[in-house]
Amino acid sequence: MASQRLNLRLAVCLLNISEARKKDIVERVAKAALGDKQGQRKMQTTVLNIFSDYDYNRSVLTLVGPVETLGNSILTSCIEAFNLIDMNAHIGVHPCLGAVDLVPIYPLSESVSLEECGKVARNVAEKLILDVPDCSFFYFGYADQPLKRTLVQRRKELNWFNRSNLKVKERKPDVGAVISPRCGLTGIGASPYVMNCNVTIATQDLNAGQQIASAIRGANVGGLKGIQAMAFPHQGTVEIACNVESFKDEPLTEERGKYISYCIQGEEYLYFSPSSIEKQIKKLAKNLGVATVGTALVGFTPEHCKSLAEQALREGTGEFWKKRKVLTM
C-alpha cells in the first residue's frame, strides 16, 4: 500500500548537528527520532540517511514522517543532541553556531504547505526551551513571521560565519533567554526543499575554490539561480559546498533544461540539477587549470527523498540508513 493510501502527508527535516567524529553519538541522535522522550512509543518516522563529514565535524540526518507528528521526532532527536554535544569542545572547518546547528523543515507531499512546516518549527522550538533550558533559537523562512527572512539573511545578521564574533556580542535569540556556550544558537525554520551538493576540486588552493564558489553563487552576476556556495579545505583538496534552493520564478526558456521541478500545493518549484552544478564547476575549474575529482549529494533530491520515505514507511523501517549502507556496500 502506498503512503498516500495511508493518508500520510509527508515532511522532511534535514537535521544538522555539530558532531561527525563520534559515530555512537550521531547514531544515538538518529535513533532518538524513532521514540518518544521516554524511549517507549515508536514514532511513525524513518531516518533515511546519515551524512557525516569528519573535517567539517558536522552530520546531516534525514528525518521523514507525517507533518502532523514529525515535530515529535525532531524534538526527541534535538534533546539527545543537546545532551551529548558540547560546543565548548567543538572543532571543525565548517561554520556553525549550535550543537544542533540547523533544523530546516520542508514539505515532501504536495498537499503539505510551507505554513504548516513553519508552525511545526515554531512548536518544536517552544517545546525545546522547556526541555533544554540552555538552548536558544533563531527563526527563518516560514517560521519567521511575519518577515519570512531567509536562512542566508538570518545567518548574515547573526555572524554565523564567525562563531567567535558572535560570542563577544550581546544578541537576544528569537526563542530562549540567552545563548549558552554549551548549546550555542540553533536555526530552525521552514522553506521549499534545499538540497546540498558538494563538488571537490583537485587542489589545495583555497583561493581557487573561493573564486569558483563566488562565480556560481546565485546572488552574483552570472551565478546559478538558487545556489549558495562556499569553499572549504577538505581531505587535502578543496570542496565547493553548495546549498541548492528551490524557487518559483520561471527561468529563461533556453535554461529550462538545467532545472528540475516539483509541486507544493499546486505551485511549481524549480531547483538547479546536480549534474548542471557539477558541469559548471568543472568548466570554471578547468579555466583555472584545476580538475574536479568528485561530487557528493548530501541526502537526496526531493523526489528521491519522497520515494524512499514511502518505501521505508510501508516497510516500517525506522533505521533505513542502515539498510542503505547494506545496499551500497
Tell me the pLDDT tens digit for each residue of 273-329.
999 999 999 999 999 999 999 898 888 999 999 999 999 999 999 999 998 654 432
Strands 100-107, 194-201: pairing kind: unpaired
For residue 43, the model assigns a pLDDT of: 76
CB 226 within 8 A of CB 184: no
245 and 313 fall within a common domain: no
199 and 111 fall within a common domain: no
Residue 111 DSSP label: T
274 and 318 fall within a common domain: no
- Environment class of 162 (CB within 10 Å of its CB; exposed 0-12, middle 13-18, buried 19+): exposed
Band of pLDDT at residue 253, cut at 50, 70 and 90: low
Cα 245 from chain centre: 11
pTM above 0.85, yes or no: yes
314 and 293 fall within a common domain: no
7 and 68 fall within a common domain: yes
68 and 135 fall within a common domain: yes
CATH of the domain at 313: 3.30.990.10
CATH of the domain at 267: 3.30.70.670
152 and 227 fall within a common domain: no
99 and 234 fall within a common domain: no
For residue 158, the model assigns a pLDDT of: 86
Percentage of the chain beyond pLDDT 70 is: 90
For residue 323, the model assigns a pLDDT of: 84
247 and 186 fall within a common domain: no
Domain that holds residue 277: 194-298
- Residue 296 burial (CB count, 10 A): 14
Strands 137-141, 46-53: pairing kind: unpaired
For residue 42, the model assigns a pLDDT of: 72
169 and 86 fall within a common domain: yes
12 and 154 fall within a common domain: yes
Q: How many domains does the chain have?
A: 2
124 and 223 fall within a common domain: no
Percentage of the chain beyond pLDDT 90 is: 78
CB 59 within 8 A of CB 17: yes
